[in-house]
Each structure stands twice: as structure tokens, then as C-alpha cells.
Amino acid sequence: MKKNYLITGGAGFIGSHLTKKLLDEGNKVTIVDDLSTGNMKNLEGYIDNEDLNMIIDTILNDKLMEKLIVESDEIFHLASSVGVELIMKQPVHTIENIFQGTAVVFKYASKYRKKVLLTSTSEVYGKSQDVPFKEDGDRVEGPTTINRWAYANAKALDEFLALAYYKTSKLPVVVVRLFNTVGPRQSGEYGMVIPKMISAGLNKKNIQVYGDGMQTRCFCHVKDVINALCKLMKTKESYGEVINVGSNSEISMLNLAELISSNLDNNSKISLVPYDEIYPNGGFEDMKRRVPSIDKIAKLINWKPSISLEEIVKDVIAYQKVIQNN
């Protein structure tokens, strides 16, 4: 049966891929996006689809959001500040945009009993060293003087709010913690490491690695992530749960730069850059490891990543080459 989905932040990187999948499956999709980090180019090929309703506005528009939520069947709430660099530069906007927007979404989702999937982030684990991170593990956050933790705590507050609605009124809510989703259409403008490194290499600039490059991350292709989100939305056992979505294949930033350089095949040079050169005013703190446990999602929907990191890198390189040539 055709459904009417509401996607907040649907013109963004992940949101646009989700929009494509839902439209391809024959559904109706309404997007609300203020284009602060989203881009209409992400929706090329779909913007004229009669089943797509694109609204350029903020989710802080209370009356608009009530109308859209009334008309929707289910809500994917993706709208958020994204990227470490944006968060460092705009801490006030980060806090207000994240939590106030989520409060509006859940106020009306609760009033009209609409199912909501909230995308959260691995940042909520903070400085925990209990790797791999499990959903019920303790969070270890840094001091309020470090801007980075504003984002982590705002997203954690989003989770608390979503789960509170589930606990008090059994509102169908799924909370998903994403770990470094990557793929075509992702911009390096806000600090996303793989597109940023690839863009530097393609433009014959040094591929920069911050610090000593020994910090590790795990990367998951957006196609795998979108499949997980859609399956979780349909799974009743996921309601009221917090669920990690990401790859558990770990790589250091230095090795990532070397992998990218080898796939570019243009003798790209790699340079190590101290953190204080990138963030001269301080307020930044990095984590050594960020690895999810994906046991919970495997049990819930029998999901695991299917696309390797090398395939991800090649996919993003191919996409950026097309963009450069257009």
C-alpha cells in the first residue's frame, strides 16, 4: 500500500537517498528542508516526480509542521546540524536547531499518533573507551567548554525526548545511532572526512590527516544505511529501542588517506596537520576509536553492511569526478 512519508532534512545527503528509495517503491514523499546543509541538486531526477512534495522551510515552523505531520503516515526525522566543522563554527545554531526542531516534530507526532524514526549519532558515546559501543553502554562526555560536546549532548537530549514519548504514551519511536555514513552526494564542506580527502586528492592538494592519524573510524555506505532505516521503521520490535547502524570494520585515518591515495592513482601526498592549526581557538577534542556493536540490529532485522570500504572509496571518487567534469 502506498504511504505518505515525511522526511525532515530530505534534501541532505542521507535524506535524498532515502527519498529516492521511497519514491522508487511507489510511495509519496514530502520533504521539509531549509537547505542550510541540504541541496536541491541532491534531488535531481526526482524533483519533478508527482509523488514528491518539496517544501523549503525550517522544522521550527510550528504551524507548517503540524499540517505536514497530520498529512503523513510515517516520519523520518533526519534534519540536524551536521559535520564537526559546522558544529565548531556555529555552536548556538547547533543546539537550537537540533533540540528545538525535534521537540516540534515529537509534539505533533504524539498528538496525531504518527510513527517516527529519529536519526541520532555515534557522537553520543563521547569519550567512552568501552569499544565496541553497545546501545546500553555508559556515555562519557567532555566538559561544556569544548564545543564538540554541545552536538553530542543535544542529540542525546533528542534521544531522551523520543524515548520519553515512547515510555509515557507508547508512541511508535525508533532511535538510530549512525556511524560515519558515506557515499555519493556527501559533501566535504562540513568536515566529512572521505569526501574531503578525495576532493583534495583530485585537486592535486595534500590529503590532510589530523593529529598523528592513529585515530580510527568505521565507514558504512549510504545504501546499506538506507536499507537499515527502512527495515527498522517496519519492525515493531524496534519501537522504543536505540539501535546502532554502521560498519564495524575499523581503519585509522592515516590508513584511510593511503587507501584513498592509492585509488586516486595520481601520486597524492599525505600530510599530518596538528589539531591546533585546524581549530586555533581550541574547543575541539577528538576520540581515538569509534566502533559500533551491530549485534542488536543483526538480531532485530538480520542486517549487516554489504559494501566494503574500498568500494565506498571508489564510489565517491567516481561521483566526484563526474561532478568536477560537469
- The answer to whether position 302 is within a domain reads yes
User: Residue range 222-247: average pLDDT?
Assistant: 98
pLDDT, tens only, 6-31: 999 999 999 999 999 999 999 999 99
305 has a pLDDT exceeding 90? yes
- The answer to whether position 271 is within a domain reads no
Answer yes or no: are the C-beta atoms of 222 and 295 closer than 8 Å: no
- The answer to whether position 210 is within a domain reads no
Catalytic residues: 151
- List the domain range (segments joined by +) for residue 136: 4-182+220-247+290-306
Q: CA-CA-CA-CA torsion for 94, 112, 117, 232, nearest 10 degrees? A: 180
Average pLDDT over all residues of the chain: 93
- The answer to whether position 149 is within a domain reads yes
- The answer to whether position 298 is within a domain reads yes
287 has a pLDDT exceeding 80? yes
State the total domains in the chain: 1
CB proximity list for 24: less than 8 A, separation 6 or greater: none
What pLDDT sits at residue 283?
56
pTM above the 0.75 mark?
yes
User: Residue range 75-93: average pLDDT?
Assistant: 78
- The answer to whether position 130 is within a domain reads yes
pLDDT, tens only, 134-163: 999 999 988 888 777 888 899 999 999 999
Q: Which segment of 40-49, 90-99, 297-306 scores lowest on mean pLDDT?
A: 90-99
CATH code, domain with 71: 3.40.50.720
- The answer to whether position 110 is within a domain reads yes
What pLDDT sits at residue 315?
97
C-alpha to C-alpha distance for 105 and 88, rounded to whole angstroms: 25
